[in-house]
Structure 1
Amino acid sequence: MQLTFATYNIHKAVGTDRRRNPERILAVLNEIDADIVALQEVDRRMGRRETVLPLSHIEDYSPYRAVPLNHRPDSLGWHGNALLVRRSIALAEAAIVPLPVIEPRGAIRADLLIKGRRIRVVGMHLDLSGLRRRQQLRAILDHLGRCDHHCPSVVMGDCNEWGVQRGALSEFRLPWRVLAPGRSFPARQPVARLDRIALSEEWHVVDAKVHHSALAVKASDHLPVMARLQLPTI
């Protein structure tokens, strides 16, 4: 079974032309054509924290549905994190992953049922502080360790980590693997690999890359990062 995962910081749908355009974000997602997408900065930061990507837009302009968290009525996710999955994918459960924070950061988890298999996905947006990022990744890994139903897992998002091998991402110890497919920030002239995908040992990597298109360069200050992953037959 092969699945495509993507992570995308949409910068509250404000592009490099300084225009807020949620339809453009969804057009980029349609270009990517992933099965499961982790989004960051999908809600406004102040006030009622309304989503900048309305559910009606997702339903009308994409093949996805949002994983419901039922926390804030005007938000799509938690601290700006949201998960989109193809409508054919069944949801077993979803939860907020509590993180130690100073600034508003967060992580969310969804357990999905695909072709009879349970898949676990975490979307995250980590702190600007290296020490805080380490604490947050430990909290995510501790959360995963306490989950029922051990299953293949993918953790992805904007890690705010410039290093490739050192730094906070070293918290992902073997058998975890961290993919850094390429530079994704800033979108116009990317120099940093801020957006990462971490895999549990069950996955085989078919392909991993940064999605770089004319539309993606305009839609957000980050480029999407994606990976095509395969699970062995059981």
Structure 2
Amino acid sequence: MLKIASYNIHKGVGTDRRRNPGRVIDVLNELDADIIALQEADRRFGPRAAAIPPLLLEQYSDYRATPLDVQTDSMGWHGNAILAHKSAQITAHDILHIPYLEPRGAVMAQIEVKGFDVSVFGMHLDLSGLWRRRQAGAIMKLAQQYGADTPTILMGDLNEWSASGGCLSVFARSYNFVDCGRSFHSRGPIARLDRIMHCDRLAAVAGGVHDSAAARKASDHLPVWAQLTRA
């Protein structure tokens, strides 16, 4: 069984408007997933330093960030990062350029863990519905290219308020959605902005929203998670 998760950490700023990456670490440890896609993993301005200091992540969590060969102080690419459990092997990684109205990007990693060899794509899509659909189409093509030989997982903050339309209808052409639940806003979830999708070579056994006291304070999003197995 493979456990994956997606989490918009809001640059480490909690619902009390205080930046506290230690609380994010607590939530990551609660999740106890094998692979986690993060959004807003870097600060917005200046050198875009990682919202979670690398030493803090190394010493107090079971995860390491996928190297993306981007800015020295950043964890991700346009805030997108992929964490893998320290027992996992990261065999490939890349940053993905997608069309955008506001600066956006996506990331991918090929990871071996628990006998699974998967291609994982993390994303944070645009606020504009038109651009979200364009971005979804671009990511689909890239996923077909990078994930041709391995089971593929797509996850992230899609910023899609529609129940089934918009960019969701684009992804649904080739991928299955895990029924995780409402993840935004963390103090009173009303929307399914955070999504996990997988190809037909995988099957979802369970999925949900991680709603803990720590998660309700650490970010304005709650993490979503899924347990997958081979189809």
TM-score by length of 2: 0.96
Structure 1: how far apart are the matches of 2:189 and 2:212? Answer: 13
- Structure 1 counterpart SS, 2:130: helix
Q: Which residue of 2 aligns with 1:8?
A: 7
Q: Deviations over 1:55-103 (max 9, x none)?
A: 1011011000100011110100100010000111111110011111121
Q: Which residue of 2 aligns with 1:47?
A: 46
Alignment of structure 1 residues 37-186 onto 2, 5 Å: 37-115=36-114, 117-147=116-146, 149-186=148-185
Contact 1:164 / 1:180 at 8 angstroms: preserved in 2?
Answer: no
Q: Deviations over 1:3-47 (max 9, x none)?
A: 111000000110001111001001001111111000000101111
Per-residue deviation at 1:115? 4.8
Structure 2, unpaired ranges of 5+: none
State how many pairs are aligned: 231
**Which ranges of 4 or more aligned residues in structure 1 deviate by more than 4 Å?**
none
Distance 1:201 1:46, change over 3 A: same
Q: Which residue of 2 aligns with 1:191?
A: 190
- Structure 2 counterpart SS, 1:223: coil
Among all aligned residue pairs of Structure 1 and Structure 2, give the percentage whose two residues are the same amino acid: 51
Q: Which residue of 2 aligns with 1:218?
A: 217
Contact 2:178 / 2:204 at 8 angstroms: preserved in 1?
Answer: no
Aligned letter for 2:20? N
Aligned letter for 2:36? V
Structure 2: how far apart are the matches of 1:148 and 1:220? Answer: 31
Distance 1:114 1:224, change over 3 A: same
Q: Deviations over 1:146-167 (max 9, x none)?
A: 2265211100000000112112
TM-score by length of 1: 0.95
